[in-house]
Structure 1
């Protein structure tokens, strides 16, 4: 297989030909990433997907019962769908400590789809803040849908522009080792991903968070405070998880620009940072389930229903 790389950057654990590579260090690194991957797939993915499916069922019931979703419910529904999508995309990383072996074209398409969800989850939170702060709950569901479609359109455009900077379009049939942001991408791709997918959105969200905190001081109703808590947790978690990954992305860009090589430790940290991004989606789904009142109430009712079912079954067995 021809692993062509236009940047000169390679995975040291896969090439075995780079400088200062010790087979013992490779084995240790692969054991670590393998255990992290198993923990992610065995714990966070099932919990995240279950929480996401449960939240979706609650939102659908609210929609059927009330015929409309308020601002927060509608946007948490959209975020839940996006996070579930990101979790499903994360199964492409299950080959760690190895990598997904596909063509450059297939890798570019996969990266494009992942980036759509990546951008969408960030931009939708930016859109959610002003709507919750300055708009009334009387806004129609058509307005909600229009805003979500506008955000989705922007995310698709940004993702297409980002992927166009990969620099592998002239070698589409070459086999590559693929991940969320391909290692053989040109530095321009990494810089745009950092700027448009993290730097600028984080700055805007920071400004909105300050406004939200100021607004929360003026709100006396505990329910409104809980609404703010859900959003603040989403913002904080997204920032923390993506900060770690984007630091490694910028580090990787510097190596490409200066013609350096990727060390085994940097490869390990980069892979862990990628899993941290995916883990953020799982944890956000759990936060929505626990912190959002309709979802939390639905969870309590479901748990109570199961307890009552078990008690009735035990009582029936005792009589028999």
Structure 2
């Protein structure tokens, strides 16, 4: 693998000499949009996502202690933890339209942990879809039966995502660790291979596996006595909803990553409009993490049952006070 000199790259808003009033006005407008997106995300999505995540953890841990150890719940517990970690890392956008100023080494470490949670959530979601698929179509091979062991599968996912994240940390760049730079969770100064690997293993392969799961679900005839497809999907709406929502948001984000790679290969820093769209795509990705937790909390059966119990207790308490 050839080392790349990425010291030439910088953000358009930080490097271009803005001579004309139109360019200055475009920069100000771009930064205002980024700032509004950031404030909206921090004010609405972050509190909602974290509250939903904490409630999910309480419900799943309570059920686990009561020996209600469903495979799907354990996978969604891991998915919840991964997304909550991503939300905590998303606090790096608070500085927008400016960026964090860190050394290359510190930015690489930050990127490693962010990628670990990102890859982990993607592949655990695949395991959740496979679990639902095998519930509708009973396993007939040793490999299929192995998928029904959630702790074993999660362990494999953690090892795989650790290796991917370590690879990405190397692709951020092995030179100039002591230099300071503007830092994003996907560093701008990373080698072009960084975005290519992230697109391939963080979006391409997971999306292909998700599509295959949906194709099998729709095309294969279920065994006699099995619920209809509509009944099956209504029984697990949260998993299918976050799968579709995640695909749409990650598609936008990864397209922008590939576009940024194209600019790097052309040795171009792009325009302020390119920078604006990339920042929006990053915030959309974080919004998806928050929204996924809300969907699980509101529509996954154990969580929904717990919400109904709390509502019933509140009604009983109100009726007793009224008497």
TM range (shorter): 0.7 to 0.9
- Which residue pairs with 1:44 in the alignment? 45
Q: Does 2:295 correspond to 1:287?
A: yes
Query: Which of 295, 300, 306 is the aligned partner of 1:298?
Result: 306
TM-score w.r.t. the length of structure 1 is 0.88
1:251 Cα deviation from its structure 2 partner: 0.7
1:127 Cα deviation from its structure 2 partner: 2.3
1:163 Cα deviation from its structure 2 partner: 1.7
1:9 Cα deviation from its structure 2 partner: 2.9
1:146 Cα deviation from its structure 2 partner: 1.8
* 8 Å CA contact retained: 1:58, 1:298: yes
Output the CA distance in 2 between the equivalents of 1:210 and 1:84. Answer: 30
Mapping 1:68-87, distance limit 5 Å: 68-87=68-87
Q: Does 2:160 correspond to 1:154?
A: yes
* 8 Å CA contact retained: 2:107, 2:187: yes
Q: Secondary structure at the match of 1:22?
A: helix
Q: Secondary structure at the match of 1:8?
A: coil
Query: Which of 239, 260, 273 is the aligned partner of 2:281?
Result: 273
* 8 Å CA contact retained: 2:74, 2:150: yes
Change (3 A) 1:216 1:44: farther
TM-score w.r.t. the length of structure 2 is 0.87
1:215 Cα deviation from its structure 2 partner: 5.8
1:303 Cα deviation from its structure 2 partner: 3.2
Q: Does 2:184 correspond to 1:179?
A: yes
1:130 Cα deviation from its structure 2 partner: 2.8
Change (3 A) 1:26 1:308: farther
Mapping 1:80-229, distance limit 5 Å: 80-134=80-134, 143-167=149-173, 169-214=174-219, 219-220=226-227, 224-229=232-237
Computed over aligned residues only, the root mean square deviation of the Cα atoms, in angstroms, reads 2.5
Q: Secondary structure at the match of 2:181?
A: strand
1:107-139 deviation line (CA, Å, top 9, x unaligned): 0000010000111111112223333333679x8
Q: What residue ranges of structure 1 are gaps of 5+ in the alignment? A: none
Deviates more, 1:299-308 or 1:112-121: 299-308
- Which residue pairs with 1:58 in the alignment? 59
* 8 Å CA contact retained: 2:12, 2:272: yes
Q: What residue ranges of structure 2 are gaps of 5+ in the alignment? A: 140-144
1:311 Cα deviation from its structure 2 partner: 5.6
Q: Secondary structure at the match of 2:149?
A: helix
Change (3 A) 1:124 1:258: same
* 8 Å CA contact retained: 1:7, 1:185: no
Change (3 A) 1:69 1:210: same
1:17 Cα deviation from its structure 2 partner: 2.8
Deviates more, 1:197-206 or 1:272-281: 197-206
1:306 Cα deviation from its structure 2 partner: 3.7
Change (3 A) 1:179 1:19: farther
Count residues with an aligned counterpart. 308
* 8 Å CA contact retained: 1:83, 1:281: yes
Output the CA distance in 2 between the equivalents of 1:148 and 1:28. Answer: 45
Q: Secondary structure at the match of 1:262?
A: coil
* 8 Å CA contact retained: 1:101, 1:176: yes
Output the CA distance in 2 between the equivalents of 1:177 and 1:216. Answer: 53
Deviates more, 1:239-248 or 1:120-129: 120-129
Change (3 A) 1:140 1:194: closer
Q: Does 2:233 correspond to 1:232?
A: no
